[in-house]
Each structure stands twice: as C-alpha cells, then as structure tokens.
C-alpha cells in the first residue's frame, strides 16, 4: 500500500501549462490481462526507462506485480510512445500507466486534458447537433474533469458513464474536435471553483434540482423549465410488478414483504416524486426523494420524471435531469442561442473563464501535490 501511495504522488503527473492544459489520469479498464499495441516507446519503471521498438505487448498479473510478455517488471510500468497506444484494439492518445493493485491490473491513460476531451465530446453528443451544443458540451466536459481531480488516488476519472464516456481516438470526429479547440481552456466556475458540471440527455421538459435527485443542494443546479427538451422516445411507459419492486427495494436494503402498492406522496416543481409510499404485507414505508430516485432508477426507469398509476408508469426524459439537457440545449441552439447563453441558462449565477486564471486554482493544485509547469507543453 505504501508503494502504491508513493506511486500516486510520484506519478500524479498533472501539469498546468501556460496553454491551460492538464495531464489527467483516466482509468480505462481493470482486470487480469490486456493487450497493448504501440510504436517505438519507452518502458518506465521504478528502476528507470528503457527504449523498445514497435510491437504488441501482452500485459498480465504477476506475483505482486505487473508482467510484460511474461516477464516481471515491478508493481507498475508506464508505456510512453509519441503516437499513443492501443489497448485491446482501441486506440488512445497519451501514455499508458499499468499498475498492480490487489491482484488486478489497472490500465490508466495519462493524457492531456484537451486531448482527452477529443474522445469525450463525440461520446456524449453527436456531430449532427448544432455547433453551440458541441461547444457547451466541451466546456462542461472540461469543467467536469477539473471538478473530479483526485490527487489522493491512482486516477482522476474513469472512462464509463459513472464519470464521462471516453472512447479515445476511435470516437474522434471533426465537428466535436473543432468545438474543443474553439473553447480551449474554458470552464464554468462558481465561487472561484469549477462547478459540479453534471449534464444529461433529456430532462423531459423540466430540469431537476440536485437536491431532489441526490439530496445535496447547489445554487446553480436548480429546477427550471426546459421547453425544447424532446428526444426521440422521450415519452415512454413501463409496467411494474410487485416482485420487481420488491427486488429493487431489497437492493437498497429495504424489506417490506410482498409489495401491494406503490404510491406517489408528493411531486417536486420539476414533476418528479419527492416521496413514494410502498405498501407491503410486512410493513409500509415512506421513501424521501433521494431514496425514491434510487428505487426508480433501480427499476430501470430512463428518468424519474414519472407518473405512477397502479403498476403503470408514464415517464418523460432520459437521465438524472440535473444541469444541461443535451436535447434541450439542441432546441435552444436551433432558436439561435450560443454556448454562452445555453450555459448561462442551465447554470445560473456561474461564470465562464479560463481555468488557468481562475483565482487560486494554481495554488490549490500545487498544495494538493500537482506539478505545475510554466512553459507550453
């Protein structure tokens, strides 16, 4: 554990340059093995670096460390090639850090923030969306990454929907790349800090406040009308079953016996349940808005903007509903709004600025152990 903690500090590898770029650590995958293809490269370990030619490398778990082509190389190794690498057939920019942890291998992409965004924005919004939406999405993805910096851990972000979907070079498309370049370094801030830049696909016509979904309030994440948020399949129906509800409740650690009814106690301003009552054969229970959200998502509802009538559910939207609705932003852009207006609408009271000049950010990164640069990368 001490070796891994030292590695976290040694390879924090986060650098803030005059060009407002930052070296991120993104967890691509974890498991017992992987295949890496790359050109001429350096293999860097705790003992130093060594040059190798182009080829394919088999990575596997060893006895307390990492193995490359069956040879032990220690608890970690970084593969650094000028043109990036491919992991299990998917290409990425940047370097690959491979770390042994608790009998598994962590595959971590050390990649510049702006390069990372090239693989995120196309994974979140299609090229067919208006330019203003792509630009707004680029700014939010950049802000999200900064908000999620994790100096105490081995990585800052994951590559799945739990963080932001990041699919590497294979996902890159010209319209989204242009949006990243056009907004380089820009973030949304509040109180001199990057905001919690959450977003979703379709609010169903009204965004949710963070407090009703997660139980935590933010002044810039409040419920508001979203009249242009209409996605294909945005209105939907589902049929519940007593057994399905009981199973979802059990996943939350709640047992009520045979479920006899599910009732909405109150709706929020955004049209989402602020409370649900579950009537069971053993007992009945009232769920607050946070627990109600967990139950509905556990039941596979695309969103929580629902009306429950018996065992029938009529719903609208897709996603948690907080922050920018990508389909709502599309509608606003088609009305002539630019990315500044879109972000100002969904995140009121915030500011748009370069993260390199946000007051105190450099000092905070330095205090957290991030290595700052003073030259262009």
Q: Confirm whether 83 is domain-assigned.
A: yes
Each residue's pLDDT tens digit, 151-183 = 889 999 999 999 999 999 999 999 999 999 999
For residues 166 and 260, state if they share a domain. no
For residues 102 and 9, state if they share a domain. yes
The pLDDT assigned to 64 comes to 87
Q: Total domain count for the chain?
A: 3
For residues 309 and 330, state if they share a domain. no
For residues 99 and 164, state if they share a domain. no
Q: What angle do helix axes 326-334 and 339-346 make, rounded to 10 degrees?
A: 130
For residues 312 and 328, state if they share a domain. no
**Mean model confidence pLDDT for the chain:** 90
CB 66 within 8 A of CB 72: yes
Q: Confirm whether 264 is domain-assigned.
A: yes
Segment 244-268 shows an average pLDDT of 96
Which residue range is the domain that position 153 belongs to? Answer: 122-201+321-368
For residues 91 and 7, state if they share a domain. yes
For residues 191 and 334, state if they share a domain. yes
74 forms bridges with which residues in the sheet?
66
Half-sphere CA count of 88, side-chain side, radius 13 A: 10
Q: Confirm whether 292 is domain-assigned.
A: yes
Residue 320 Cα distances to 24, 111, 209, 248, 261, angstroms: 26, 29, 10, 18, 24
Q: Confirm whether 377 is domain-assigned.
A: no
pTM for the model: 0.89
For residues 153 and 286, state if they share a domain. no
For residues 106 and 36, state if they share a domain. yes
Q: Confirm whether 219 is domain-assigned.
A: no
Q: Confirm whether 146 is domain-assigned.
A: yes
Segment 220-243 shows an average pLDDT of 96
Q: Confirm whether 116 is domain-assigned.
A: no
208 forms bridges with which residues in the sheet?
322
Residue 309 confidence class, pLDDT cut points 50, 70, 90: very high
Q: What does 297-314 look like in DSSP terms, one character per residue?
A: HHTT-S-SEEEEETTEEE
For residues 328 and 283, state if they share a domain. no
The pLDDT assigned to 204 comes to 97
Q: Confirm whether 334 is domain-assigned.
A: yes
For residues 312 and 331, state if they share a domain. no
Indicate if the pLDDT at residue 374 is higher than 70. Answer: no
Each residue's pLDDT tens digit, 315-346 = 999 999 999 999 999 999 999 999 999 999 99
């Amino acid at each position: 554990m001490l070796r891994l903690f030292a590695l976290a500090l040694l390879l924090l590898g986060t650098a803030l340059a005059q060009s407002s770029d930052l070296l991120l650590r993104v967890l691509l995958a974890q498991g017992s093995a992987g295949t890496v293809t790359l050109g001429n490269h350096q293999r860097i370990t705790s003992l130093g670096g060594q040059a190798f030619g182009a080829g394919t490398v088999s990575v596997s778990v060893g006895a307390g460390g990492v193995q490359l082509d069956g040879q032990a190389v220690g608890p970690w190794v970084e593969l650094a090639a000028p043109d990036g690498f491919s992991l299990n057939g998917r290409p990425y920019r940047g370097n690959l850090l491979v770390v042994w942890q608790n009998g598994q291998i962590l595959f971590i992409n050390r990649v510049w923030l702006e390069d990372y965004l090239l693989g995120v924005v196309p994974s979140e919004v299609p090229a067919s969306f208006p330019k203003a939406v792509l630009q707004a999405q680029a700014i939010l993805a950049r802000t999200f990454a900064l908000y999620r910096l994790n100096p105490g851990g081995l990585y800052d972000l994951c590559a799945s929907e739990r963080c932001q979907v990041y699919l590497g070079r294979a996902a890159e498309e010209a319209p989204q790349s242009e949006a990243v370049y056009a907004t380089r370094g820009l973030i949304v801030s509040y109180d001199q800090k990057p905001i919690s830049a959450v977003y979703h696909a379709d609010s169903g016509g009204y965004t949710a406040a963070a407090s009703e979904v997660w139980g935590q309030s933010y002044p810039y994440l409040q419920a508001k009308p979203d009249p242009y948020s209409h996605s294909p399949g945005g209105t939907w129906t589902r049929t519940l079953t007593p057994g399905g509800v009981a199973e979802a409740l059990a996943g939350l650690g709640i047992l009520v016996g045979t479920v006899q009814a599910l009732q909405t106690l109150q709706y929020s301003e955004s049209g989402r349940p602020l409370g649900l009552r579950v009537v069971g054969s053993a007992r009945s229970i009232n769920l607050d808005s946070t627990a109600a959200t967990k139950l509905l998502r556990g039941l596979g509802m695309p969103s929580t903007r629902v009306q429950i009538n018996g065992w029938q559910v009529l719903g609208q939207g897709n996603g948690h509903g907080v922050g920018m609705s990508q389909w709502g932003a599309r509608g606003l852009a088609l009305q002539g709004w630019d990315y500044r207006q879109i972000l100002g609408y969904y995140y009121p009271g915030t500011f748009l600025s370069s993260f390199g000049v946000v007051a105190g950010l450099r000092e905070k990164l330095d205090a957290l152990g991030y290595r700052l640069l003073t030259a262009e990368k």
